[in-house]
Each structure stands twice: as C-alpha cells, then as structure tokens.
Amino acid sequence: MNAIVMPEALLATAAPTKAPVAASSGRDAIRPFRVEIPEEALVDLRNRLAATRLPEHEIVSDNSQGVPLATVERLVRYGATSTTGARSRRS
C-alpha cells in the first residue's frame, strides 16, 4: 500500500485566500493526515486516466460549455503522471 502524507504547508495553502486564516488548535485545526491507497487502485486510476477519451475543443471562448478542455487535459495528465504535492511511501 502507498501512504500519501499531506504536508502541513500544503494544507495551509488550500484554505480560501479571501480572508486570513487564524491558527487554531481546536476541532477546526488543519492537521497533517495519512491516506492508505492500495497500489492496485493507483495503477488502475493511472490506466483509466491514460485511456480517457476527451471531447473536441469547445466552440466558445468562455466557460459556458463547462470546464475548458485545456484545463481538463492538464488535470488528466497530472493525475496520470504526477505525485507532486504529496509524498508517497511504501508501507
């Protein structure tokens, strides 16, 4: 199994940027966590992402047809090839 550990600094940057986030030690505090994911599930996910068939380019220049294709392509490529932002360790 792989364990993904989210660094505390990354979690802090995930907070909305509209207002400063006060440090908290209570129930709402942001703390590092571990997620155990079987290797087989990660391989399956990468294979599915690599096999994704994307639609043709949108015919408008705004977001009225949903998320722009270029954004989806980057997300699929990132999910299929990258572990940036998390450390993977074998248990």
The structure tokens listed for 84 are 């940036």
**Whether the Cβ atoms of residue 34 and residue 45 lie closer than 8 Å to each other:** no
Q: How many residues does the chain have?
A: 91
Q: Which amino acid is at 79?
A: G
Residue 34 confidence class, pLDDT cut points 50, 70, 90: confident
Residues 36/3, Cβ–Cβ less than 8 Å: yes
Residue corresponding to tokens 């030690």: 25
pLDDT tens for each residue of 35-90: 888 989 888 998 999 899 998 888 888 889 888 999 999 999 888 887 644 444 44
